[in-house]
Amino acid sequence: MEKFLNKLLKAPWIIMAVTVAVSVFLFYEMEDNSKMETDLDKYMPQDHPAFVFSDKAEEWFGINDGIIVALENKNGIYNTETLDTLKQLTKRLQKLEQIEKEDVTSLYTADNIVGSEEGMDVKRFFKRIPKSESKLKKLQENVKNNEMVYGRLVSENETVTVIIAELRDSVFSQEFYDEILEITASYQTDDITVHVAGRPIVEGTMALLGPADMKRMVPIVLLVITLVLFAMLRSVKSTLLTMGVVFFSTLWVFGLMALLNVPIYAVSTMIPVMLIAIGVADGIHLYSHLQLFLRKKPNATKDEAAKDMIKNMWKPVVMTSITTAVGFVSLLTSEVYPIKYFGIFTAFGVLAAMVFSLLFIPAGIMIFGLPKVKKEKDHADEKNGIAYRFAKGVIKRRSISIIVTALIVVISIFGMQKIWINSSFLEKFEKDSEIVLTDKFINENFGGTTTVNLILDAGENKGTFKKPEVLKLTDKMQTKVENDLQIVGNSFSLTDYINRMNKVMNADKEEFNVIPDTKEMVAQYLLLYEMSGDPENLNKVVDYDYTKLNVTFQLKSDNSKAINSTIAVIETFADDFKKLGITLKYAGSGYKGLVFTDLILEGQIMSLILSLIIVVVLLSFMFKNFKIGLIGAVPIVVTSLISFGIMGFLDIPLSTTTALLSSIAIGIGIDYAVHFIEQYRNNAQKTGDKMLTAQKTMAHSGRAIIFNAIVVIAGFLVLLFSVFPPNRELGALVSLNMFTSFVGTLTVMLVILFSGNLYFKNKKK
C-alpha cells in the first residue's frame, strides 16, 4: 500500500484531474436524477406481514389517507357565504384528476339518515344553498340531531366545518401539493379562514422543508468547519485541501445515489453535515503528523515529508475509516429503508474521504508545497508541556477516572430505562410551525387527524356482523376507548349506521340510539339503507359477506404513546371477540407508524450489537491482540451508555433520526481509540518506558484527537440550526458523544492501557 501511494505521488496532476473529472460527471448526474421521497409508506418494508395485511385491508375497505380542509368562520358556519364556499370548494376538489368524486366528503355531500312516513329515507343535508333564516335554522337542527355528522364534519361550537378528500396511492406529488395550497388559499375571505392538514400535507411539507434545510445547513457547516480547521492547522493550503476531501466525498455520495436512482429521504439530508464533519478527521491526523515531522526536520523536502506522512499514517487512516464505515454499515440491519440507505451511503462517503485523504492531500502537497510550521521546542520544554503533564496527572489519579466512569455508567443505565420510541412525523416540525398549529386546530375541533383502523375478522362465517351480540360488543368497545382515552376523539363503524337507523325508525328517541336486539331487525335496517341511500358507503365499514368489519379510531396525536394506549384498550376486548370467533388485526397509516417504531428499535439494537462485535474483532485483528479490541471498545461503549441515558432523562425519544445515534457514536468515536492505540504501540516499542510512552502518545495523537473532536463537535452543533427538532437533538447528542469519546480515550482508555502493561510484559518499567 505504501509503495503504491508513493508511486502515485509522482503524478499528482493526474490524481487531481481524475478526481475533478469524475466529480463533474456525478454532479450533472445528481442535477438530473436526484429526487426527494416523501411518501411515508415508502419508508417501510413492503414485504413485512403487518404492512402486507394493512395493504389488503386498505383495498377491502378503501382506506386512504386524506387531505382535511377546514373552513372556519368565527361568526358561525350557518350563513350563505360559508355554505356557498363549502359547496364550491367541495365541487372544485371533486374535479381534480387525482381525487375520485365519491371520495370527497363534506356537509354538502354527506348523507342524512332520517325517518319518513314510508319508514326511512337517506338524503343530502342540502343541494341548494339555504338563504332564508328559517332554512338555515332547519339545516342547523338537522346537523345537530345527526350524531354521524355533528362533531365529525361540523364542530360542536359550529364555527368550523371540514372537507375530507381521500387520495389514492401514488397520486400525491409536489405539483399536486402546491395546487391544493393554491386552491384552498383562493377561497379565503375576511370572514372565512381555510386550514389544510392531513398526512399527505405533512409529506408535502417535508418535501419542501427537507431540501431547503439541507441547502441552508451545508453552507453553514462548511463555513464553521473551515474556520475551525484553519484555527487548528494555521494554514490556508492545508485547510483548503482538507475541505476539498469532504467536498468531493459528499459530491460522490449524492452523485452515486442519483446514478443508482436511490431517492433522498428526510434523514438523507443529514449526510452532507455528517460527511463534512467526519471527513476532515483523516486530514487533521495527516497534517498533525506532518507538522510534528516538519518541526523536527524543518529542511525536509516536500517529497520526504509526504512520504513520511504516508509511511506513518496510512495504516491508522485506513483502520479508522474502515471501523467508522462499519459503524454505519451496521445500519443495514434495520428494516427501515431511509436508515439502510443512510448507513450504506454514509459508509461509502467515509471510505471515499479516506481515499481522497491518502491521494488528494499528498498530491496537493506535491503541487502546492508544504505548510509553514514553527520549529520544535527543546526537549526540556516538551516535557513541561501540557500534554506531558496531563498524561502524568491522569495516570497518577487513575483510580479517580475508573470510579467516576463507573458511577456515570450506573446513572446512565438507570436513565436508559426511560427511553421510548416515537415515529411521529408531525413532531419532526417546530411546535409553532403552521402545519403543527393547523393540525392542533383541527384536533381541537374534531376527532383527530390520525387514524387507526381495527379490522375484525370472522373468517368464513358469513353474516357475523349482522348479529346483535357482535355489534353490541363492538359498540361497547368503541364507547370504552372513547371514554377512557382523551387522545381518542371519536370512532366510526357499522354500529354508527345501525344506531342511527334504529333511532330515526323510533321517532328520534335517544333511548333507541342503540343496537336492536334481533338479527332480523339489523338486516331490515341494512336493506332499507341500501334501498334508500348509497349502499357503497357501507363498503368502507363492512365487506359484502359481513365477515370483516372496519372500525376507524380518530386520534389527536400521531405519536407512538397515543397509538399504543389506544391499542392497549382495544386489546382488552380480544378475549370477548375470540369467544365469538372473531380475531383482531390492525391497518392504516397510524398502525403502520407504530410498527415502524418497533422496526426502528429492533434495528437500533441489532446495529449496536453488530457494530460493537465487528469493531472489537477488527481492532483485535489490526493489533493482533484480543485484549486491545476490548480496550478500544471501552470509550465508545461508555459513550453510547451516556448518550442513551441522557435521552432517557431528557425524554428524547428514539426516532428515524436519533436511531442513528449509536452507529454514529461508534463509527466516529472509534477513530480516537485506533489513532491513540497505534501511536501508543509505536512509542512503547521505541521508548520502553511506560510513562514516557503515555506522554509522547498524548503529545502526538492526543493533540490530533482534540483537534479532530473540536472540528467534529463544531460541525454537528450546526444541526442546532435545523428546522427539524429531531435533527437538532441529534446534533446536540452527537456533539456530546464526541466530547465523551475523546475524554474517555484520553483518560479511561489510557489508564487501562497503562495498567494492562500490554506492551511492557518483559520490561520492568
Q: Is residue 84 part of a domain?
A: yes
Query: If pLDDT is split at 50, 70 and 90, which confidence band does 264 have?
Result: confident
Taking the C-alpha atoms of residue 93 and residue 68, their distance in angstroms, rounded to an integer, is: 11
**pLDDT at residue 60 greater than cutoff 50:** yes
Task: Tell which residue, 568, 291, 353, has the closest CA to residue 452.
Answer: 568
Assess if residue 722 is contained within a domain: no
Domain stops at, among 147, 172, 203:
203
Looking at residue 659, what is its pLDDT?
Answer: 67
Is residue 381 predicted with pLDDT exceeding 60? no
More confident residue, 3 or 390: 390
**Which stretches of 688-702 are DSSP H helices?**
690-697
Beta bridge partners of 150: 154
Low-confidence winner among 4-8, 439-443, 450-454 (lowest mean pLDDT): 4-8
For 276-286, write each residue's pLDDT tens digit. Answer: 777 788 888 88
Distance between CA atoms of residues 160 and 82, nearest Å:
10
pLDDT at res. 137: 94
| End-of-domain residue from the set 533, 566, 593 | 593
* Domains contained in the chain, number: 2
The strand pairing partners of 165, in sequence order, are 67, 104
At 171 the pLDDT is: 66
Give the number of other CB atoms < 10 A from CB of residue 646: 19
The reported pLDDT for the residue numbered 383 is 55
Q: Which residues pair with 114 in a beta bridge?
A: 121
- CATH assignment at residue 93: 3.30.70
Q: What are phi and psi of 762, to 5 degrees?
A: -105, 15
3-state secondary structure of 16: helix
Single-letter code of the amino acid located at 259: L
E strands in 34-76: 66-72
Residue 688: the pLDDT is 81
- Quickly state the pLDDT bin for 764 (edges 50, 70, 90): very low
d(CA 684, CA 693): 5
Residues 6+ apart with CB under 8 A from 631: 673, 677, 749, 752, 753, 756, 758
Range 197-205 average pLDDT: 79
List, for residues 304-362, the tens digit of each pLDDT value: 888 888 888 888 888 888 888 887 888 887 777 888 888 899 999 999 999 998 888 88
The reported pLDDT for the residue numbered 380 is 42
Alpha-carbon distance of 363 to 12, in angstroms, equals 4
Neighbours of 304 (CB within 10 A): 14
Task: Quote the strand ranges of 389-439, DSSP E.
Answer: none
Q: In this predicted structure, what is the pLDDT of residue 424?
A: 75
pLDDT above 50: residue 681: yes
CA atoms within 13 A on the CB side of 765: 10
* Residue 379, pLDDT above cutoff 50: no
DSSP 540-562: GTB-TTS-EEEEEEEES--SHHH
**pLDDT at residue 582, as a whole number:** 95
Tell how many helices (H) and how many strands (E) occur in the chain.
27, 10
Helix or strand holding residue 96 (H, E) = none
* Residue 51, pLDDT above cutoff 90: no
Q: Which amino acid is at 436?
A: V
| E strand or H helix that includes residue 596 | helix 588-623
Answer whether 676's CB lies under 8 Å from 682's CB.
no
| Domain final position from 203, 237, 256 | 203
Distances (CA, A) of 418 to 169, 199, 412, 597: 37, 29, 10, 16
Phi and psi for 196 in degrees, rounded to 5?
Answer: -125, 130
* Predicted pLDDT at 6: 67
Distance CA 97, CA 74 (A): 32
Lowest model confidence (mean pLDDT) among 1-10, 192-201, 374-383, 663-672: 374-383
Position 724 scores a pLDDT of 78
- For the segment 219-247, the average pLDDT, to the nearest whole number, is 86
Distances (CA, A) of 681 to 158, 311, 633, 713: 77, 16, 17, 27
Q: Which of 67-76, 171-180, 378-387, 621-630 has the highest mean pLDDT?
A: 67-76
Task: Pull the grid cell for residue 205.
Answer: 411539507
Q: In what order do the strands lie in the sheet with 450-457?
A: 488-492, 548-555, 450-457, 583-587
* Domain assignment of residue 86, yes or no: yes
Q: Exposed e or buried b for every residue in 666-688, given b needs 16+ CB within 10 A? A: bbbbbbbbbbbbbbbbbbbeebe
Listed in sequence order, the residues at least 6 apart from 732 whose beta carbon sits closer than 8 Å to its beta carbon are 717, 719, 720
Q: Which of 130-139, 299-308, 639-648, 715-724 has the highest mean pLDDT?
A: 130-139
Residue 698 lies in a domain: no
Distance CA 612, CA 601 (A): 17
Joined grid coordinates for residue 125:
343535508
Q: What percent of the chain lies above the pLDDT cut of 90? A: 28
For the cut 90, the answer to whether the pLDDT of residue 542 exceeds it is yes
Per the structure block, which three cell numbers stand in for 584? 383482531
The DSSP-derived string for 103-131 is GEESTTT-EEEEEETTEEEEEES-SSPP-
Grid-cell match 381521500, residue found: 166
pLDDT single digits (tens) 503-540: 989 888 889 999 999 999 999 999 888 887 677 788 99
Q: What is the pLDDT of residue 345?
A: 92
Q: Are 516 and 468 in contact (CB under 8 A)?
A: yes
Give the whole-angstrom CA distance, residue 597 versus residue 343.
Answer: 18
| DSSP H or E run through 282 | helix 271-296
User: Taking all residues of the chain, what is their mean pLDDT, rounded to a whole number?
Assistant: 85
Residue 224: predicted pLDDT: 85
- Position 110 in a domain: yes
- In DSSP terms, 115 is beta-bridged to 120
CB of 78 closer than 8 Å to CB of 143 = no
Task: Answer whether residue 695 is part of any domain.
Answer: no
Q: Which run of H or of E encompasses 165?
A: strand 160-166
Instruction: Tell me if 535 is assigned to some domain.
Output: yes
Percent share of the chain, pLDDT over 70: 93
Q: What's the confidence (pLDDT) of residue 89?
A: 95
On whether residue 691 sits in a domain, the answer given is no
pLDDT digits (tens, 9 = 90+) for 569-619: 999 999 999 999 999 999 988 888 788 777 777 777 777 788 888 888 888
Alpha carbon distance 547, 221 (integer Å): 58
**Grid coordinates of 516:** 336492536
Q: Domain residues for 484?
A: 435-593
| Rounded Cα distance, 268 and 206, in Å | 12
Q: Integer distance in angstroms from the first to the last C-alpha of the chain?
A: 35
Weakest-pLDDT range from 330-334, 419-423, 490-494? 419-423
Inform me whether the pLDDT recorded for 420 exceeds 70: yes
